[in-house]
Chain A
Amino acid sequence: MGKNVLVIEDEPNIIEAISFILSRDGWSVATHSNGHDAVGVVQGAMPDLVILDVMLPGKTGYDILRELRSEDATQGLPVLMLTAKGQVKDREMAERAGASRFMTKPFSNAEVLDAVRELVAG
């Protein structure tokens, strides 16, 4: 069982917070901060889990996720979606796009950690 997590998020402070929490728990964390080439980065790195923001410059998290789900290699990849938009329709969109888990910002660090552990453990 790998311990590689890729965080795709454009807010530097949030990247830093998530990196800190996961590193402390023994995960190796890679980050990426725009939507344009996010799919390529995921396919190149093939992490055990992706933490994906919705509002990204260049391409939305939903579009990135749909592309990942249409590829064989990343079809079953655990993806934890984070969004600052907490409405019901955002959750539905995330589910339709194929998110393994959906969390709204601001999140609790412990919850993120638990979610990451569960998703990777399968």
Chain B
Amino acid sequence: MGTLNILVGVCLIYVVFLFLIAFAAERAALEGRGGWLRSPMIYTLSLSIYCTAWTFYGAVGYAARSGLEYLTIYIGPSLVMIGWWWLLRKLVRIGRSQRITSIADLISSRYGKSNLLAVGVTVLAVIGTTPYIALQLQSVTVSFDVFSSAYGGELTQAAQGSNALLVAAGLSLFTIVFGTRNLDVNERHHGVVMAVAVEAIVKLLALLAVGIFVVWGLAGGVGDTFARIDASEIGQWQMRGDRWATLIFLSGAAFLCLPRMFQVMVVENEDEDHLRTASWAFPAYLMVMSLFVVPIAVVGLDLLPPGSNPDFFVLTVPLATGNDALAMLSFLGGFSSATSMVIVAALALSTMVSNHIVMPIWLSMQTGGASVSGDVRHVVLLSRRISIAAVVFLGYLYFRLSGGGTALASIGLISFAGVAQFLPVLIGGIFWRGATRTGAFVGLTVGFLIWAYTLLLPSFGAGTLVSETMLTEGPLGLSWLRPQAFFGISGMDPLVHAVFWSILLNTMSFFIASLVGFPSPLERLQGAQFVNVFEHSSTPQSWAGSLAQTEDLMVMAQRIIGAREAQNLFEREAKRQGMSGLLPEPSPDFLQRLERELAGSVGAATAHAMIGQIVGGASVSVEDLMAVADETAQMMEYSSKLEAKSEEQARTARQLRQANEKLTLISEQKDSFLSQVSHELRTPMTSIRAFSEILRDSDRLTEDEKIKYSSIIHDEALRLTRLLDDLLDLSVLESGRVNLNMQSGKLRGILDHAVASALTGAGKDKMRVVRNTAAEEITLNTDLDRLSQVFINLIGNAQKYCDSPSPKLRIEVSQSSGTLVVDFIDNGSGIPKTEQAVIFEKFSRTGEQKVKGAGLGLAICREIMTRLDGAVEYLPGQGGAAFRVTLPGEVALAAQ
């Protein structure tokens, strides 16, 4: 019993030692002296959490049962490290640039920050990891049991249970203390990593020590050992190709997908270059770990009585040979393997549970938004801590309920096969832009269902969760659905069968659903960022906010990453933007960086939601869409560019066509005008030329004829002059270059003058003009000459065109609603409706022309009245021809 007490004492000292190391590392990192913490060797050693108690104890048992097959568990990760370092580098780069906190975060972030996907991955990871944690607890208690039984004290079941609970509590405590000391934006835990690295060395040394003891102490050297191996059953071992291939694939996949591996490999990674060292150092570590497995197994089989559990040869061989110190070292090695796994797994899982399940639920319960209520930081830490305890306790529960009967290795492999289901979605996500959220969801679901159905459920043994008949005949008698013989392909190893079908169908449904569906803009954006992570480690995420929101963001950031860090961050950003103050502009660039910083603490989906709550537009916005078009989604961009171009071309063509139509119209109008002018000029010129030739050529003209013909020439010359004057007048009026000569005068006087001028020269058929002179006593302030010109024209037209036998013109003046109206109404037959519309156009003489005029008069009148801010229009329905001249009220009122 004394040795047992020493063992307990050593264990406690060892645990205290680990706490101290972790503390020291945390301190060193905090004080900035932690350069050595960031060495590639520490990184490599931290990867050794891959080797859990299962590897430490179980490998020997595995070898004792199945020969060299245990090597596959080492070969898979070695191949990944050596052959796929570029894939790891990509994962690490993505993890850094996107502030990825876990594999669930990575997958959710890749597929459009879908929290549903994150929850799914988290749940599956917990399901896959819980048995594994149970396994570690079991290994610790069983090894303790082995120890104690060797010293006569058989432990009761209850004592075993309390041991396990003690270990679970201790591990929770450690993880809580060092995993959630603060919310590091980089989500790196120096203390944990350091402790894990130390434990890696301990377990390696322990296994090496036992190995050396076995080979040189018990077997009598290398040659003897080989002889023993040849003699043993292991020497007769035959390789099974399908199992080898499957196991190598499985361990490689698990190495990439296990939440704890992702934690140390990607999240805790300090430097991408560390991968370079790890790519050879880690395989070397694994090689050394596997070196003495077979000798220990062979010697153990030889030495110990038949029926001994080969899983604990590492412990029982030294014990049986009375080498207590070595046994104790071996125990510490196993203890280290188990604890480091549980710590990191709990850390990784708690991050996932907290970020993707607890925080979103908490956030949704906060009605006021994250920025205004509650200390988010406190909540995040609390939820992390509770999650850690819950995860470890779940493992403990599993351990207690399962009774710890199954061989260790099989639990490990089942767990591996479970997390391997992440592989298609993970690889597809970082190499294939076409992968969609729906695809990921369908693939994962299918994979996990098949995994659970073909491997997990049957693993509990026929007759427990799965009935005997179901195994042999399939569910409901559907033999092709037998859990261990899908589609009637029986005779396959159950593990190979499960891995083959689950991964195959997972991948297929992932691909098909991705191809069938269409990714959302955010998915495409994220897809581009992930797949092309090396081309652009930072790309637009398109938040847009206003300055007022910066303060809210600050408040939120302080609560999540701590006041000092938040202030530093904001100040840095402000400086980067060239601002003098402490608050930066909420540019999309800044918001994107802030989101990543926050994502380091609370996960991408949550950070996105939090910033979205403040800045607004949490869902995919137009900007997101634009960003996607901006993105290397070149096809989209190209086609949209083309579209825009063709649209622009169409617009230009339309404008050109319109311009052309206008030009054509103007050109036609010009042609028509020139043609009319030409006609109007040629007509009098014809008379002039004809009669001047007659006068020149005829010497037999009478005196009367000479006078008559000369007068015609004279009149036609005057007509030409008038026409030219009108044209010039119109041209000036139309161009707007006319200078108005504003004067004051009585309307009556203007009308007197106009009537007199218009009727000058009129003979016997002189028109009678009817006026109400009293109404005309209005003083006007306008260009009196121009107004008079209009009146003369209208009176002249009446004189020329009124076809009444006793022509009469009424001139009526009235004032209404601020306008002055002067109507000119004759008693002729008026102007036909069809022509009323065109009389104001140039050269539009109406009807038969008894009287010669150029046809420009009314056009000039209209132009003048427009210049005087008034109007002239035809007044229909007055019996004869009627024209109304209107002037604005100011013109009349101004001088009153």
What is the interface of chain A, defined by CB distance below 8 A to chain B? 10-11, 13-14, 16-18, 20-21, 24, 34, 55, 57-58, 84-87, 104-110
B849 and A105 contact, CB distance less than 8 A: no
B680 neighbours in A (Cβ, 8 Å): 84
Of the residues B683, B712, B848, contact of A16 by C-beta under 8 Å: B712
A106 and B688 contact, CB distance less than 8 A: yes
B848 neighbours in A (Cβ, 8 Å): 34, 57-58
B716 sits at the interface (CB 8 A): yes
Minimal beta-carbon separation of B834 from chain A (angstroms)? 15
Extra inter-chain contacts (8) besides given A11-B686, A87-B678, A108-B689, CB under 8 Å: A17-B690, A18-B690, A57-B847, A58-B848, A84-B679, A104-B682, A106-B686, A109-B690
Provide a sorted-by-A list of 9 A–B residue pairs whose CB atoms are within 8 angstroms: A13-B691, A14-B683, A14-B690, A17-B686, A34-B848, A85-B682, A87-B678, A105-B682, A107-B689
B234 sits at the interface (CB 8 A): no
A10 neighbours in B (Cβ, 8 Å): 849
B679 neighbours in A (Cβ, 8 Å): 55, 84-85
B689 and A13 contact, CB distance less than 8 A: no
B688 neighbours in A (Cβ, 8 Å): 106
A109 and B849 contact, CB distance less than 8 A: no
Cα–Cα distance between A109 and B686 once the two chains are bound (Å): 10
Minimal beta-carbon separation of B194 from chain A (angstroms)? 101
Q: A16-B712, A55-B679, A85-B679 are in contact. Are A109 and B697 (CB under 8 A)?
A: yes
A20 neighbours in B (Cβ, 8 Å): 694
Range class of the B interface residue count = 20 to 34
Minimal beta-carbon separation of A19 from chain B (angstroms)? 11
Residue of B686, B689, B698 with highest tally of chain A CB at under 10 A:
B686
B683 and A105 contact, CB distance less than 8 A: yes
Q: A58-B848, A106-B689, A107-B689 are in contact. Are A17 and B682 (CB under 8 A)?
A: no
Cα–Cα distance between A106 and B407 once the two chains are bound (Å): 125
9 shortest A-B CB distances, which residue pairs?
A17-B690, A84-B682, A13-B687, A105-B686, A106-B689, A106-B686, A57-B848, A84-B679, A109-B693
A84 and B690 contact, CB distance less than 8 A: no
A108 neighbours in B (Cβ, 8 Å): 689, 693
B697 and A84 contact, CB distance less than 8 A: no
Q: Which of B536-594 contact A (CB under 8 A)?
A: none
Minimal beta-carbon separation of B701 from chain A (angstroms)? 9
Query: Which chain A residue shows the least CB distance to B681?
Result: A84
B685 sits at the interface (CB 8 A): yes
Minimal beta-carbon separation of B850 from chain A (angstroms)? 9
Cα–Cα distance between A25 and B738 once the two chains are bound (Å): 53
B402 neighbours in A (Cβ, 8 Å): none
Cα–Cα distance between A87 and B674 once the two chains are bound (Å): 10
Q: A11-B687, A55-B679, A86-B678 are in contact. Are A17 and B849 (CB under 8 A)?
A: no
A84 and B686 contact, CB distance less than 8 A: yes
A57 neighbours in B (Cβ, 8 Å): 847-849
B712 neighbours in A (Cβ, 8 Å): 13, 16
B675 sits at the interface (CB 8 A): yes
Cα–Cα distance between A87 and B693 once the two chains are bound (Å): 24
Cα–Cα distance between A86 and B680 once the two chains are bound (Å): 12
Interface code B513-536, partner A: CB below 8 Å = 1, 0 otherwise?
000000000000000000000000
Minimal beta-carbon separation of B307 from chain A (angstroms)? 121
A109 neighbours in B (Cβ, 8 Å): 690, 693-694, 697
A14 and B686 contact, CB distance less than 8 A: yes
B678 and A17 contact, CB distance less than 8 A: no
A86 neighbours in B (Cβ, 8 Å): 678, 682
| B interface secondary structure, majority | helix
Query: Which chain A residue shows the least CB distance to B675?
Result: A85
Cα–Cα distance between A68 and B848 once the two chains are bound (Å): 23
B697 neighbours in A (Cβ, 8 Å): 109
Cα–Cα distance between A5 and B848 once the two chains are bound (Å): 24
Interface code B372-394, partner A: CB below 8 Å = 1, 0 otherwise?
00000000000000000000000
Cα–Cα distance between A91 and B849 once the two chains are bound (Å): 25
A11 and B683 contact, CB distance less than 8 A: yes
A18 neighbours in B (Cβ, 8 Å): 690
Query: Which chain A residue shows the least CB distance to B852?
Result: A11
Query: Which chain B residue shows the least CB distance to A20?
Result: B694
Of the residues A21, A34, A104, A105, contact of B694 by C-beta under 8 Å: A21
Q: Which of B385-419 contact A (CB under 8 A)?
A: none
B691 neighbours in A (Cβ, 8 Å): 13, 17
B694 neighbours in A (Cβ, 8 Å): 17, 20-21, 109
Cα–Cα distance between A52 and B693 once the two chains are bound (Å): 21
A104 neighbours in B (Cβ, 8 Å): 682
Query: Which chain B residue shows the least CB distance to A55?
Result: B679
B675 neighbours in A (Cβ, 8 Å): 85, 87
Of the residues A58, A84, A87, contact of B683 by C-beta under 8 Å: A84
Minimal beta-carbon separation of A38 from chain B (angstroms)? 13
Minimal beta-carbon separation of A16 from chain B (angstroms)? 7
B687 and A85 contact, CB distance less than 8 A: no
Cα–Cα distance between A102 and B693 once the two chains are bound (Å): 20
Minimal beta-carbon separation of B670 from chain A (angstroms)? 13
Query: Which chain B residue shows the least CB distance to A13?
Result: B687
Cα–Cα distance between A85 and B671 once the two chains are bound (Å): 11
Cα–Cα distance between A54 and B549 once the two chains are bound (Å): 81
Cα–Cα distance between A63 and B351 once the two chains are bound (Å): 98
B716 neighbours in A (Cβ, 8 Å): 13
Query: Which chain A residue shows the least CB distance to B712?
Result: A13
Minimal beta-carbon separation of A70 from chain B (angstroms)? 25
A84 neighbours in B (Cβ, 8 Å): 678-680, 682-683, 686
Cα–Cα distance between A55 and B686 once the two chains are bound (Å): 14
Cα–Cα distance between A121 and B634 once the two chains are bound (Å): 84
Cα–Cα distance between A106 and B689 once the two chains are bound (Å): 7
Minimal beta-carbon separation of A109 from chain B (angstroms)? 5
A24 neighbours in B (Cβ, 8 Å): 698
Minimal beta-carbon separation of B101 from chain A (angstroms)? 84
Cα–Cα distance between A58 and B848 once the two chains are bound (Å): 7
Q: Which of B778-798 contact A (CB under 8 A)?
A: none
Cα–Cα distance between A84 and B723 once the two chains are bound (Å): 15
B686 and A107 contact, CB distance less than 8 A: yes
Q: A57-B849, A85-B675, A87-B675 are in contact. Are A17 and B698 (CB under 8 A)?
A: no
Q: Which of B687-719 contact A (CB under 8 A)?
A: 687-691, 693-694, 697-698, 712, 716
Query: Which chain A residue shows the least CB distance to B680?
Result: A84
Query: Which chain B residue shows the least CB distance to A15?
Result: B687
B698 neighbours in A (Cβ, 8 Å): 24
Q: A57-B849, A108-B689 are in contact. Are A85 and B683 (CB under 8 A)?
A: no
Cα–Cα distance between A105 and B686 once the two chains are bound (Å): 6
Minimal beta-carbon separation of B653 from chain A (angstroms)? 30
A106 and B849 contact, CB distance less than 8 A: no
A106 neighbours in B (Cβ, 8 Å): 682, 685-686, 688-690
Cα–Cα distance between A55 and B698 once the two chains are bound (Å): 30
Minimal beta-carbon separation of A92 from chain B (angstroms)? 14
Query: Which chain B residue shows the least CB distance to A87?
Result: B675
Query: Which chain B residue shows the least CB distance to A35?
Result: B848
A21 and B682 contact, CB distance less than 8 A: no
Cα–Cα distance between A85 and B694 once the two chains are bound (Å): 23
Minimal beta-carbon separation of B673 from chain A (angstroms)? 12
A17 neighbours in B (Cβ, 8 Å): 686-687, 690-691, 694
